[in-house]
Structure 1
Amino acid sequence: MKAAGGEFNLARVVNDLLTVGCASFAVEDELRLASQKALATGRRTLSRTDSKEQLVTWSGNGMWSGYQPLPEGDPQHIDMVERYEMPAAALKAALNPSGPALAPEGELHAALRAAHDRSIDLIGRLIATAAATRGHAEDKTRSLWLEDHESTTVVNYYPPLLLDPIAMKAHRDFGGLTIIFFEPGKAGALDIHDGNDWRAIPPDACACAIVGELLAGWLGCTPPLHRVRSTAVPRTSLVVFHQPAFDRTVRFKDGSLVNAGQHIAARQAEYNMLDGRYR
């Protein structure tokens, strides 16, 4: 898991994903510009009360979608993060020229959509290359992971905290492949567990890819445990969660069959229960 300076190296990133489940890397120009615009728009929206009041709030039921406010409670036990999350279908619908373009939600949707579309291109390249390395046929890889896939795009706002609790508790991602984009110089609050200890992502990293449980089971690698530490400096991250279509069945290397939708729904419910925000 190397620092993310210099050129994007596809082979090195895929090797890191297959060996340790995580890779930090440089971001190519179009994606870098789109992700940085989404980060800036997300920070501006989620750091201002008047902007947040105009956002559609998630009801607390079903798949995560919309604005999720900073929860109340003991920061030692709950995730200290505000987030705005939209499924890909909702992002596309929000950009319908005949529909309303409400600011700031319309501005945020547009920025997230641009970053999402370019991220999906990168995710497709990473999954296809990793699958070929493991001997999976190209057509089956495309059918399982890249056609009719589900994905969500999230902007996380971490407010400054004088203490240093965990802002997002240790967890493994549920689905396919996750891409996280960082503000310049602020990647170091993300920790990856290497099996023995916590290791921080290099602070100068532009982005990080993390293998989720479904993809890891299919590829025969390990989905890494990771967490986010709080700091005295506010931070924003942009996350694209890629998942296969919910009706797909994933065959793990050990021969077990896992329905994607059932797995993701169960793991989300488990995470909500652990966090306790919406009980």
Structure 2
Amino acid sequence: MSRIRSALRRTALVTIGAAAVFGAAAGQAVAAPPPSDVGVQVIGGTRAAQGEFPFMVRLSMGCGGALYTPSIVLTAAHCVSGTGNNTSITATAGVVDLQSSSRITRRSTYVHQAPGYPNGDDWALIKLNSPITNLATLPIATSTAFDSGTFTVAGWGAATEGGGQQRFLLKANVPFISDTQCRSASGYSGLIAAEEICAGNWNSGGVDTCQGDSGGPMFRRNNNNAWVQVGITSWGIGCARPQAPGVYTQVSTFASAIASAAASLP
């Protein structure tokens, strides 16, 4: 089934270069899907501490991402325009304040968009022009062992539905929602159970990712108390509404494909 839907993609129109501009209006991401997929930062969150999530990356097309390796960012397929050479994306990392003089920036050299997109497979890899060697990377889940419980989300997107992008990284915790319950929500019948995870406060809403958080990681602690990525911010109906959870690409489904693609990047 096509992933072009009336649901809101969690992307936003921003320009983030060396100056790390913030506060742009929400809208369709550059090189993102058609306007019907325009979409959705962290609502109900609190400011992250410097160094708390060193793997977080802000991308200049208005999306988030995580360092998969020192030279590769894992993000959402709907944040990029296709596979091939690409030097147009700026990645900002190493800071919670996008205006900090300590920010690290890199340019993209190549993008790999999951070949199954837009019929699912909402993941992509961005190769950087040089590695970021002083920041921790975020391992991805290779099984479903951690695909439940309470997750953490983080991003620089809108703090209210339709709001502007944020200067400071925000974080929040969101509980797992079963596929059955998620599909019962209005507009969620097309959920791909084997590829997607739902999370949020079912009855009350109030905490969610939103515009500008697309591509960012959803993660939790593993048995060794280390962070592991279980999801990629993908889509939702509005932001933080009751019975309208956030939907995240289930990275364990694609772990081997992601590893294979990363190993073959030019």
TM-score tier (shorter)? under 0.3
| TM-score of the aligned structures, taking structure 1 as reference length | 0.24
Which structure carries more strand by proportion? 2
| TM-score of the aligned structures, taking structure 2 as reference length | 0.25
Which structure carries more helix by proportion? 1
Structure of larger gyration radius: 1
